[in-house]
Amino acid sequence: MNRTPPPDGPALFAALRACASGIHPLEAGTSLLIDHGSWLCRRDFTSRFITTGTSISDGITLLASTDWEAAITALNAGELPSSGGERRIVLLAASIAGGIPVSLYDTLPGIDQRNFDLLVTAIRHACGQRPGAGPP
């Protein structure tokens, strides 16, 4: 992977999903970040915490990964301005996808309905129940 500027929009989302493919928690946290719709539209986030590269297995597929630890370190240091909802989502996504510890006691209160629904979908996905799969 390299530090060239990541693509925007759908190409970035596809590259992130391709890199996370097959690892349920990584897929889930990545999807939460994508579906939230804020962080991946911000150059101050994507230019610092998204790394891109080409798949070594086919030499064609664009891959992208998130440096969750660095992103949360920057967030906690005040280097990434955010709304309360944005902060909650990136913390929760980093916890699900990257194993970054997060206090649910501090993070969950105040979450709005849309973000709650996205979070529940992500938790189900992390447990192996991909969206649209229905109950086991």
Helix and strand totals (H; E) in the chain: 7, 2
Instruction: Report residue 41's pLDDT band, with 50, 70 and 90 as the boundaries.
Output: very high
**pTM for this predicted structure:** 0.91
- Structure confidence by residue, pLDDT tens digits, 100-114: 999 999 999 999 999
- Structure confidence by residue, pLDDT tens digits, 71-128: 999 999 999 999 999 999 999 999 999 999 999 999 999 999 999 999 999 999 999 9
Q: Look at residue 3 and tell me whether its pLDDT is greater than 70.
A: no
What pLDDT, on a 0 to 100 scale, did the predictor assign at position 97? 98
What phi and psi, each to the nearest 5 degrees, are found at residue 123? -65, -45
What pLDDT, on a 0 to 100 scale, did the predictor assign at position 96? 98
CA gap 40, 75 in Å, rounded: 15
- Structure confidence by residue, pLDDT tens digits, 43-65: 999 999 999 999 899 989 999 99
What pLDDT, on a 0 to 100 scale, did the predictor assign at position 133? 63
CA gap 116, 104 in Å, rounded: 13
Q: Give the torsion through C-alpha atoms of 57, 59, 61, 65, to 10 deg.
A: 70
